[in-house]
Structures are given as structure tokens and as C-alpha cells.
Amino acid sequence: MANARILLISLLGFPMLALAADDVDISVGGFVRADIGFGDRYGDAAEEDRIGVSKTALAVTAVSGNNSAVLVIGAEADSVPNSNNLGDVGIKDAFIVLDKFLAENLTVSLGAQPLLVGLKPNGYPGDRSINTSIEYGAGGAFAVSNQAGPSVIANFSINESHDIRFGFFDRQGYNNDVLNPEGSSISDNLFIQWRGTNLGGSGVYAIVAYEMIYVGGAANDSDDIVAAGVGWGNEVLDLSFEYNMLGSSINATADDESYMIAEATFNLSDDLLFYLDYSMADEMDFTTIRLGTNFYYDKHTMFSAEIAEDEPAIGDSISSIDFRVSFDF
């Protein structure tokens, strides 16, 4: 056990062991998601089924005073042929958080981290539904809610109901245009987002966001993303609608793209919920439907089942039925 503790702390990148007892509090958390699925979503090469671990993550957080460091290590490993799911372990996020930085209500984070743009940017694809919807990249669409990377982000809390999140990031190595080899700059990638939570004590939540993101190409330029969403929830029901507008060069569409995402959650008890999600990309002419249920077997273990169907512009619909066991700690 002592060796495991030494290894864990050494992953943070500098000798934390001597400080851990007195100066730094270290916590460990994470999850494992074991999945099995059937349907034409998984293709003939996989005999239209899959089994494995869709995502596993280990998060280590070290805290000293108002400052902390976060390291997330993750992997995927399942039977569907894909270069991303061979079980290779990698660092997903690594960043430093400066809480109450220069002001009581200002938090600044620096490193490789999620941008958290959108109404429900839950951190990982599969956090809400087993199969991703448009805002998480279904159908090859640009994943507005799943953006992450090297960035500097500030979160300013106006009060308990209103927050402003803003920052800049980079997409180095993204430009492959040999005629214009200049790449992305931090001045090409900016975002700002207002989020309201339980507005007026009504259960209403909302976001409005603007993002400028580098797209490269011959123009060596950036394009725009605008997002707006609103939802309402209580202990039993949660309903939300989100709209994303993306400049035409982001998804390589003829005109500017529009995403529409509608989600409903029904909490039948503390242990059982059902969800129904619909999303559509207008220019790509691609839609997704997700109908699923989560049952909390105990405090840390959840069983999930989902029926999912995608409707692409060309070709037959893509469907599957999936089952999952999740353990979080």
C-alpha cells in the first residue's frame, strides 16, 4: 500500500510525498464504465456488437490553501476496431486552479482542461447518454460541448445565480495547409459564457455563449460559435433546449450550421430515472434520438440501458441497444 501511495503522488510531476501529510491534501476519485452493445452502429467488422470499457478515468487532486492541481488519467478499451479504444492509458486533463485569485469571487485555471461551453457540458461523452448526441460529436459534427485543451480560463461569480466564464485556448498543429503553414494562436481562440442557475428561485437555468475558434485553411482564419440554452428542473422533471450556431467552415458546410438539442429527464425515484434526448444538425441533415434509463443499484454502482438511433442525410438509419454498468468512487 505504501508503494502505491508513492506512485500515485509521483504522478503529479514533482516530489509531493514529503508535503502530503502537512501541507497538501490529496484526494482520488474516478469511474469505470463497462459496456455491451448490439446493433448496426458497430458495423460488420465487429459483427454488429461490442463489449468492453467505454471510458475509465482516475482523477488525482492536490489542494493547498486556495490553490489546487488536478490530474485526470483515462483509457478506453473495447472490441470495436478503433485506434482510440485499444486500452492505451493517457493524460486527459492536467491543470492548476487558483481560487480567490486577486478577488474573492474569481477563479483562474491554467493547463489542459475542459472548456465547459454549452448548457450541459458534463465533462466526458457518455456522461448523460451512452451514445453521444450532436453536441458531443455524433455524426462527425464538431463537438461544441466536448471541447478541451491547453487553455487559461477565468470564472467570475457575480452572485449565487450568475457566473461569467471566459478564456483563451490554442489548437497548435491543427493547420495542415501547405500553402499557408502558419498555425493557430491564442488570439485566434477565445470564448465567453454567462450561466444562470436557479434564476429567481424558479428552477430555471440558462447559458449564452460566444466562441471564436481557429479553423485554419488557406485563409488561416477563425470562425464563430454562438450558443444559447434554457432549462427548467425540479426533483421529478428536467426539461431543456439548446441552440448552437457554427460558422460554415467549422463543419465544412455550405452555410452556417445550426444544432438543436432537446433533453428531458424523469426522476421516478431517488434510484431510477429515464431520459429522452433529441438533437439535430440542420446543414449536415443528421439527427439523433436517445431513450435510456439509469438505475442506481447502490451508492457507487449504476446500471444503464439505452435505445439509440441516428438518421444521416445519406444511407440507412443507424441503431443500437446498449447496456452499461458504471462504478464511481
Predicted local confidence at residue 45, as pLDDT: 79
Higher model confidence: residue 205 or residue 11? 205
Closest CA to 140 of 281, 319, 309, 322: 281
Helix/strand/coil (H, E, C) string of 100-139? CCCCCCEEEEEEEEECCCCCCCCCCCCCCCCCCCHHHCHH
% of residues, the chain, pLDDT over 70: 87
Q: How confident is the model at residue 83 (pLDDT cuts 50, 70, 90)?
A: low
Is pLDDT at 317 greater than 80 in this prediction? Answer: yes
- The tens digit of pLDDT for each residue in 132-142 reads 999 999 999 99
Predicted local confidence at residue 183, as pLDDT: 74
Is pLDDT at 42 greater than 60 in this prediction? Answer: yes
Closest CA to 244 of 168, 133, 323: 133
- The tens digit of pLDDT for each residue in 238-264 reads 999 999 999 999 999 999 999 999 999
The number of beta carbons lying within 10 Å of the beta carbon of residue 232 is 16
The overall average pLDDT reported for the chain is 89
Is pLDDT at 84 greater than 60 in this prediction? Answer: yes
Question: For 2-328, which CATH superfamily applies?
Answer: Porin (2.40.160.10)
Is pLDDT at 163 greater than 90 in this prediction? Answer: yes
Lowest mean pLDDT among 165-174, 198-207, 295-304: 165-174
- The tens digit of pLDDT for each residue in 120-159 reads 987 676 788 999 999 999 999 999 999 999 999 999 999 9
Is pLDDT at 15 greater than 50 in this prediction? Answer: no
CA distance 245 to 230: 15
The pTM assigned to this predicted structure is 0.86
Closest CA to 44 of 244, 252, 318, 260: 318
Q: Is 148:272 a contact under the CB 8 Å cutoff? A: no
Predicted local confidence at residue 127, as pLDDT: 87
Predicted local confidence at residue 172, as pLDDT: 64
